[in-house]
Amino acid sequence: MVVSSDQTSTYLQYLPDLFSDQQFLGQVLLAFEQVLTGVEGAESEPVIGLEDKIAQIHQLFDPTEINQFFDLNNEEQQETLKDFLQWLASWVALSLRADWKQEQQQAFLANIVPLYRDRGTKNNLIELLQIYTGKEFEPRIIEPEDTPFQIGVNSRLGVNTQIGGSPPYYFQVEVTLPSPTRELLQRQADIIIALVDLQKPAHTDYDLTIFYETIQIGNPERSTLGNNMLIGNLKTFTSLEGNNG
């Protein structure tokens, strides 16, 4: 700590009048003030005193605020942050997937406790999927209703009617991914399947369909065949069959 030779600690004001004008004592107290509350004008760290650090300690347990305590350009501190997030996740019985981005891990960790209260519900599953896919597209959960066969009214098989009715305890999941690449698509689908399996009631079955942006003529980022151009939608999974499609 480097301060001017005539600077004294503000802590002198809390001492009896007998000591309040003691310059030597005021300079001795500067060391304690630097550690506890910080000294204005000091040229060395720590700038933030112990008192302020204690006042901010709750932010260490907030996944949305924690980044400010780490130098994300430092590889060692990046690893420390990853380990800390895993430790924090253990408090709420959450296993963070290694293939999630850090932002996704922090978003799940920040929202998992209120989501636990509604586990197994339609709204819970929608919110969980939206944390992963982002706010741009809202996932859809469709619970089919059996439609009786009526000629000229409900008579298009597979569209608006179904012979024998829908399977019991069955729903459909539709998710839109923003501009996925072919390499990432199946990995993203596997993560979505794992999320649905984690949150759905155990006795239910479902189909998952993933939609994504298709070819865009004139846009080099969405028009290179075999690289970044995908056509149509992908039915990736049906739990009725128990395997990937």
Residues 25 and 130 placed together within one structural domain of the fold: no
Highest mean pLDDT among 124-128, 166-170, 174-178, 222-226: 124-128
Last residue of a domain, one of 55, 77, 100: 55
Report pLDDT for 243: 43
pLDDT at 38 over 50: yes
pLDDT at 19 over 70: yes
Residues 162 and 123 placed together within one structural domain of the fold: yes
Residues 125 and 238 placed together within one structural domain of the fold: yes
Cα 84 to chain centroid distance, Å, stands at: 15
Sequence-distant (≥ 6) Cβ neighbours of residue 205 within 8 angstroms? 167, 169, 170, 171, 238, 239, 240
Residues 244 and 133 placed together within one structural domain of the fold: yes
Last residue of a domain, one of 72, 94, 117: 117
pLDDT at 91 over 50: yes
Residues 208 and 140 placed together within one structural domain of the fold: yes
| Averaged pLDDT of the chain | 77
Distance in angstroms (rounded) separating the CA atoms of residues 60 and 74: 18
Q: Greater confidence, 50 or 105?
A: 105
Where residue 143 falls among pLDDT bands split at 50, 70, 90?
confident
Residues 15 and 134 placed together within one structural domain of the fold: no
Q: Greater confidence, 227 or 5?
A: 5
Residues 89 and 103 placed together within one structural domain of the fold: yes
Residues 39 and 112 placed together within one structural domain of the fold: no
Last residue of a domain, one of 117, 150, 167: 117
Residues 76 and 131 placed together within one structural domain of the fold: no
Task: Give the 3-state secondary structure of the chain.
Answer: CCCCCCCCCHHHHHCCCCCCCCHHHHHHHHHHHHHHCCCCCCCCCCCCCHHHHHHCHHHHHCCCCHHHHCCCCCHHHHHHHHHHHHHHHHCCCCCCCCCCCHHHHHHHHHHHHHHHHCCCCHHHHHHHHHHHHCCCCCCEEECCCCCCCECCCECCECCCECCCCCCCCEEEEEEEECCCCHHHHHHHHHHHHHHHHHHCCCCCEEEEEEEECCCCCCCCCCCCECCCECCCCEEEEECCCCEEC
Structural domain total, the chain: 3
Highest mean pLDDT among 42-46, 201-205, 229-233: 201-205
Containing structural domain, residue 97: 58-117
Lowest mean pLDDT among 25-29, 37-41, 189-193: 37-41
Report pLDDT for 149: 57
Q: pTM of the prediction?
A: 0.59
Q: What is the mean pLDDT of residues 46-70?
A: 80
Where residue 245 falls among pLDDT bands split at 50, 70, 90?
very low
Residues 80 and 143 placed together within one structural domain of the fold: no
Cis peptide before 46 (omega within 30 of 0): yes
Residues 146 and 227 placed together within one structural domain of the fold: yes
Q: What is the mean pLDDT of residues 21-41?
A: 79
The backbone torsions φ and ψ at residue 172, rounded to the nearest 5 degrees and listed phi first, read -120, 140
Residues 148 and 109 placed together within one structural domain of the fold: no
